[in-house]
């Protein structure tokens, strides 16, 4: 109940709730570090994760010796909506897709309505705008249901026909 009544303060972005288990010793030491920085434990953990993202390389170094890190490519990967985030990750770092993301991506790649140029997954890294983003976004629940829950192809096709006729 308290979660629904919570409102964001003006100018303060909303955050996601994430349950975290820590070893008692690690939690104690993190609390000490948080006190030293005059932060809450939650704020300290968020800061520590942001710092750690700067050191996680995503690919081999380029010709200048620069390694892209998660922090460096954050703007390239992040999007407000889930379908766009999936497209960004699949386009730039397909090897990092989870199994469920691979299933959803395959539905998008293989369905000719979403993909008007090609049905070959191997070419998607070369094609930045290969699918109808508005249609994918509109049919997202049906795409996920078909890919992850064994949903019916007919329901997916019905959703596509319905949304494809609506001018966005």
Query: In this model, does residue 29 exceed pLDDT 90?
Result: yes
Compute CA distances 147 → 52, 100, 142, 155, whole Å. Answer: 33, 8, 8, 12
In this prediction, residue 110 carries a pLDDT of 79
Compute CA distances 83 → 59, 86, 105, 135, 153, whole Å. Answer: 23, 5, 9, 10, 19
pTM over 0.85: no
DSSP string, 99-131: HHHHHHHHHHHH-TTTBSS---GGGTTT-SS-B
For the record, the structure tokens of 67 come out as: 């390694």
Query: In this model, does residue 60 exceed pLDDT 90?
Result: no
The answer to whether the beta carbons of residues 131 and 114 sit under 8 Å apart is yes
Give the bridge partners for 69, in sequence order.
Answer: 57
pLDDT bucket at 145, cuts 50 / 70 / 90:
confident
Burial track 127-142 (b if 16+ CB lie within 10 A, e otherwise): eeebbbeebbebbbeb
Counting residues of the chain whose pLDDT is more than 70, the rounded percentage is: 75
- Domain extents for the chain? 13-53, 74-164
- Strand, helix or coil for residue 158: helix
Instruction: Give pLDDT tens digits for 99-136.
Output: 999 999 988 887 766 655 444 444 444 444 566 778 88
């Amino acid at each position: 109940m308290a979660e629904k009544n919570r409102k964001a303060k003006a100018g303060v972005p909303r955050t996601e709730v994430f349950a975290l288990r820590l070893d008692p010793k690690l939690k104690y030491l993190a609390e000490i570090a948080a006190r030293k920085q005059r932060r809450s434990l939650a704020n300290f953990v968020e800061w520590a994760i942001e710092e750690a993202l700067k050191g996680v390389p995503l690919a081999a170094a380029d010709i200048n010796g620069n390694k892209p890190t998660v922090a460096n490519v954050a703007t390239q990967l992040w999007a407000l909506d889930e379908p766009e985030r999936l497209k960004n990750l699949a386009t730039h770092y397909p090897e990092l897709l989870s199994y469920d993301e691979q299933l959803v991506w395959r539905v998008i790649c293989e369905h000719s309505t979403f993909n008007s140029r090609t049905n070959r997954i191997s070419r998607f890294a070369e094609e930045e705008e290969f699918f109808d983003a508005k249609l994918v976004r509109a049919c997202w629940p049906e795409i996920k249901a078909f890919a992850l829950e064994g949903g019916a192809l007919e329901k997916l096709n019905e959703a596509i026909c319905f949304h494809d006729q609506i001018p966005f």
